[in-house]
Amino acid sequence: MAQNNKSLADSRTYVTVITLLVAFISFLILMYGINAEVVFSWEKPVQNYLQKWNSGLASLVFTYWTELGSRLGLAIVVILFSIWVWRKQRDYVAIGIVPLSVFATDKLNSFIKELVGRDRPSINPAIDAVGYSFPSGHAMMSIVTYGLIFYFVVVSLEKRSEQVMAFLILIVLVGTIGISRIVLSAHYPTDVVAGYCLGLVCLLLTLKLYKVVNTFVQGFAK
């Protein structure tokens, strides 16, 4: 049994490392392409298709939905999550690491935006479409914030079906936030994809940091 658990843990480690490397390399390729003014053949068709939804009821829905990935929206989510973790799990490491990770991700996103200096498709302060465009902060921060919340929620779920449902909700939530940025002309598709890639890297590193710190705290408590 111990050998099986070790093999499973090793397999998860390999998958995590490979995922992290693929995501980071993909981000670097996109950033290099943007800096070199490379035209990605798939970007314009995707952009044109999604921006057709920017009218009528769909536009209104996406305008409100995109706020789930805004700084204010995520701040509210993090506060509610911290209260939930404190009441249900008493996980003080999570209460500290989650907001710090979201804050650090936001600062990293701002730094890269200034570094790349890509202009947005359009400027619209009403939907947080100001400043530079690459990578999408909404995509990057939403995958970190909601990904962390998903991790801690899944720990509290006993049924496999509930865990699968939580994962599907995560994919739909984070995916539609990114789509909303393209629909509303706040970002190019490459901005969103790059945001997801770098956000995934930040998410995986944060989870690793959490496990290391949590193990240390538990060992110290004993």
Question: Which pLDDT score, from 0 to 100, does residue 10 have?
Answer: 62
Closest alpha carbon to 23 in 212, 199, 213, 209: 199
- pLDDT attached to residue 7: 60
Q: Which residues contact 117 (CB under 8 A, 6 or more apart)?
A: 132
* pLDDT in the model for residue 9: 59
Query: Residue 91 has what pLDDT?
Result: 87
pLDDT the model gives residue 150: 93
The predicted model scores a pTM of: 0.92
Confidence at residue 104, expressed as pLDDT on a 0 to 100 scale: 96
What does the pLDDT look like over 49-99, one tens digit per residue? 999 999 999 999 999 999 999 999 999 999 999 999 998 888 889 999 999
Above pLDDT 70, what percent of the chain? Answer: 95
Q: How many helices (H) and strands (E) are present in the chain, helices listed first?
A: 8, 0
Residues of the chain whose pLDDT is less than 50?
2
In the prediction, which pLDDT does 21 show?
A: 96
Dist. CA 180–CA 117, nearest whole Å:
22
- The pLDDT assigned to 18 comes to 94
